[in-house]
Amino acid sequence: MKLPDMPKAAAPGTAPNVAPNVASLPRPRSRRPLAGLGVLMAVLGILPWVLPNSFYLDLVIRMGINAVIVLGLNLLMGFAGQISLGHAGFLGIGAYASAVLPTHLGWHPVLAMGAGALGAGLLAALLARPIFRLKGHYLAMATLGLGIIISITVRNEAAWTGGPDGMPVPPFALLGLELSTDRQWYWVVAGLLALSVWASLNLIDSPFGRALRALHGSEVASRVVGVDVARYKMAIFVMSAMFASLMGSVTAHYVGFVTPNLADFFHSIELVTMVVIGGMASVYGSVLGAVLLTALPQALATFEGWETVAFGLILMLSMIFMPRGLVPTLAARFGKGE
């Protein structure tokens, strides 16, 4: 009986004969993405008509803003496997660009928002290669340092940023229409959230997304199949930073005031916690994590001084019993994808 031909061994010192084709990487398993997106859009369409008052509408708007930020952060952490403990710094860049540039230099809010996103993207691109040469806790400390530098800068440049007290933000206007009511802002944020979820689902099922999953699993194996690891890390870091900057601008215009707390370390940790609680590498987990952790402090306000303890206890129990996050755990239990 004739044995099948064995593949030829590579010459010593040379890489295996594997075609460098990112599209050949295995596709992620089916997720029913369109059904989930349809449910999300239906909920977003119904919510403003059933909420009892403006307090709940404001809370839902903040949930939506956080969800978009966490989606970008989850692409970096959950899908690419690169931790960032200073992500609120990019949020602060966008917020202060939308406050400082129109106030001091007379820029149009749209130009200021774009400049903030471009600045955050350029900063991320410049720092990506040196930062992402690090691994594990060294990488975490480097990103933490970046966030602290941005936070200290906006606190100390009081002549431009108002210092620790913050500064007002001009209203957002486009084509003669000024966004002034909560209902107007709701539809803007709802549209951004639906668009972000749709874009994220398509991104992770593209060759780019499969490359991110590959380098998360093994950078060595990714290089073997032709993935430029450094370039993909830089690309997703820049994308995530620009996501955060744009939503920082949206937050600043919606609230009408910006303070350095938006860019501080504790806000970065809050964003990371939303990713982990909802589910790493889960698009709908990002949304659920943002919704729960935005609403939870309000729900615990009745504990009168013990709300922080209750908040920490809930997070601790969640991680003990659902270490993969809420959505992946529930999906595995019921045998369904996202």
pLDDT level of residue 319 (50, 70, 90 thresholds) = confident
Given a cut of 90, is residue 212 above it in pLDDT?
Answer: no
Of 40-44, 303-307, 331-335, give the range with the top mean pLDDT: 40-44
User: What range does the domain containing 35 cover?
Assistant: 31-40+52-333
Domain presence at residue 242 = yes
4, part of any domain: no
| Residues 254, 247: Cα–Cα separation, whole Å | 10
CATH number assigned to the domain comprising residue 240: 1.10.3470
- Any domain includes 11: no
pTM for this model (two decimals)? 0.86
Dihedrals phi, psi of 258, to nearest 5 degrees = -135, 140
260 within a domain of the structure (yes/no): yes
What's the mean pLDDT when you consider all of the chain?
85
Contact 35, 159 (CB under 8 A): no
Is residue 9 a part of any domain in this protein?
no
Whether residue 15 is contained in a domain is answered as no
Q: Count up the domains in the chain and report the number.
A: 1
Query: How many other C-beta atoms are found inside a 10 Å radius of the C-beta of residue 111?
Result: 14
Q: What is the pLDDT of residues 25-81, one digit of tens each?
A: 444 444 466 788 899 999 999 999 999 899 999 999 999 999 999 999 999 998 888
| Long-range Cβ contacts of 145-149 (<8 Å, 24+ apart) | 145/86, 146/86, 146/89, 147/85, 147/86, 147/87, 147/88, 147/89, 147/263, 147/264, 147/265, 147/268, 148/86, 148/89, 148/265, 149/89
**Residue with the two structure tokens 């860019």:** 263
Residue 13 located in a structural domain: no
* Residue 45 maps to a domain: no
pLDDT of residue 129: 85
